[in-house]
Amino acid sequence: MTSLWAAVAMIASVVLTSTAGEVLTAAAMKSIGDLDLIREKSGMKGAIKAVVTCPLFFAGVFFLAVAFFALLFALNHLNLSLVAPASASLTLVTNAIAGKIFLKENVDRRRWAAAVLVCIGVYLLAH
Amino acid sequence: MGKHTLTARQYGILALVSLCAPLGDTCLSRGMTRMPAMTLDHPLTLVSVVFTPWIAAGIALLIGFFASYLTALSWADLTFVLPATAFGNVIVALLARVWLHEQISMMRWAGIALITVGVGFVAQGPSRTERPEEIAARQESETREAAL
């Protein structure tokens, strides 16, 4: 049987790697600029080129891939009804914190409230 | 925060993000549960399932999700996109109720209500944090418009 600490470590791995992936991908897209405008100016090829030539984007995809395998590993040891809602809802909160610290996003009370409400909502929905 | 509001097209992209991810996951789940149990002794069987209709549809939807998600992140904050697109969970629960005639417990209805309120909260605010230079440029253009 999986111990409590092992379960916490597995869920924390999913949440942290997923947050790193989301934040790096968001930073990449911010540095590239509005994709709709790039597509209007340089076409679909130009938009794809702008994305695939950004190193931050690949760093983000790498962490998202690690998060996916961490999730598979966690699912191999824990119940889906625990892992899915816990990781989905906790990731919303860690993303709000990381968005404020690393992306310098203005996470005002409205966004905090939304993150917490959605977090609890996802948890309830998965039960 | 600045006055970033979204166009109808951008709301459409957010709707695509919301719908493609849960529908793609549902297709993958439906496809994989119909498959016989797989082991790592025959990894090629995992490759062959990619070409089955449900899995192929799931992959196509997830590619659509990733493309629209990246587009949304190019003009909106991460802390705006993630809660705003959580509405997809509600849509999937409602589809399960209508199409699959699944029972939705009181707890799930409470979850649906909380997500809906949360999405309403974030959607009423600005979609992007303005940088100091963007604020200066906007104020300059507003002053110019006022002068005209």
Q: What is the pTM of this model?
A: 0.79
* pLDDT tens figures, A26-83: 999 999 988 888 988 888 899 899 999 999 999 999 999 999 888 888 877 887 777 8
* pLDDT tens figures, A30-42: 999 888 889 888 8
Distance from CA of B148 to the nearest CA of A (A): 27
ipTM for the complex shown:
0.82
Q: Tell me the CB-side half-sphere exposure of residue A20, using CA atoms within 13 A.
A: 15
Q: By CA distance, what is B112's nearest residue in A?
A: A121
Q: How would you write chain A as a 3-class SS string?
A: CCCHHHHHHHHHHHHHHHHHHHHHHHHHHHHHCCHHHHHHHHHHHHHHHHHHCCHHHHHHHHHHHHHHHHHHHHHHHCCHHHHHHHHHHHHHHHHHHHHHHCCCCCCCHHHHHHHHHHHHHHHHHCC
Q: Which residues of A touch B14 (CB under 8 A)?
A: none
* pLDDT tens figures, B52-89: 898 899 899 989 999 999 999 999 998 889 888 888 87
| Lowest mean per-residue pLDDT among A53-57, B21-25, B50-54, B133-137 | B133-137
Q: By CA distance, what is B76's nearest residue in A?
A: A30
